[in-house]
Amino acid sequence: MKKIYFPSRFDRDTLSPFFDELDRNLKVNKICIDCTTLKYSCPTAMLIAGSKIREWIAYRRENKLTTHKLGHDTISNVHSYLRHLGFFDFIGMGIGNKVGQAQGSSTYLPITKISKPNFDESTQNISEWYEDIMSAVRGLARVVSGTFEDTEENRLYNYAFREIVRNVFEHSETDDCYVCGQRWENGHVEIAVIDEGIGIANSLSNSFEITNDEDALLKAIKPGVSRTTKLDGSLNIYDNSGFGLYILSEISTSFGWFVLGSGKSRIIGYKRNIDADGLNFKGTYFGMRLNSAPRQFSSLLDDIISVGEEESEASGITKKASGMSKLAL
């Protein structure tokens, strides 16, 4: 029987060989997937790996291929942690807490499913739809910021979750996304959001000529770039301006790093650099880790938007940042 081992770490840069092995053996009958090798897990990689594994397992079940699991009930710190977060339920191994069951704490945000609020443009104002999303993410920001107070750091993570989640629902053509996060004792914070929708290349192709997934990702972090950039205004029912990912990528590369992936590619931003490589994933993911939070997020947001609007205008895009993208609440 073929055996596939988890990597020793679910970390930003450890997933590619594991994903390649899953893809190579997707249609092989009688496989044992062994979790005992996993010793450490970070939020972004854990959520990305979870989505990949659950897609892989679902395909095999649908095609009546035999898959054994080994080690998901192992007693170790990382396996206990993942069971508590809902990871094994998320991937379809059916052990531990279900997704959404764990309450979280002041230091971690378990895997949480967020569903798209209903919106009827004939009877509702878009601000009501936005408020539903803000209500859904407000508690998530409090966990990773470590406080219920209206601090600049709380505003930052509230903004980050809000912009990524609404980006999912505006562009991915899926009704659900999953989030998780962690705050460490040294003040480092990592948050992640994934969806299993159409992907960034398919979304941006409505307004841009896209050559491949890497091209789409690099465009997606430019100011003013959105699925709706070149569409008639009447089709932009969510008032999307294409500034959310740009703003978050700018903050992340200044204070830590981000990773954005979709389709066959991903980009990693750190210290004002952008690197690109391959990782096969159905849908889209965004993760960011900040080693420290900006002291004055609100003023930093204004500065980034001002520079971004000048850059987008210089590139021939006349869109300004939307009111929601400017809102640091």
The helix (H) or strand (E) run that includes residue 76 is none
For residue 201, which of 210, 191, 192 has the smallest C-alpha distance? 210
Q: Pull the structure tokens for residue 58.
A: 């679902």
Residue 164 has phi, psi (to 5 degrees) of -70, -45
CATH domain 2-90 topology: Transcription Regulator spoIIAA (3.30.750)
pLDDT for 240 equals 62
d(CA 123, CA 237): 13
Q: Pull the structure tokens for residue 270.
A: 């750190």
Examine domains 2-90 and 108-314 and report if their fold is the same: no
d(CA 194, CA 209): 24
| CATH class belonging to 108-314 | alpha beta
Per-domain boundaries in the chain: 2-90, 108-314
* Bridge pairing between strands 31-34 and 2-5: parallel
Q: Pull the structure tokens for residue 19.
A: 């994903």
Cα separations in angstroms, 297 against 67, 181, 326: 48, 20, 11
pLDDT string in tens for the chain (329-residue length): 899 999 999 999 999 999 999 999 999 999 999 999 999 999 999 999 999 999 999 999 999 999 998 877 777 889 999 999 999 999 998 889 999 898 777 789 999 999 998 877 667 677 788 888 888 888 888 888 888 888 899 999 999 999 999 889 888 999 999 999 999 999 899 999 999 999 999 999 988 899 999 999 999 999 988 876 665 555 555 556 678 899 999 999 999 999 999 999 999 999 989 999 999 999 999 999 999 989 899 899 999 989 998 888 888 877 777 766 766 66
d(CA 311, CA 321): 12
Q: Pull the structure tokens for residue 239.
A: 């008032």
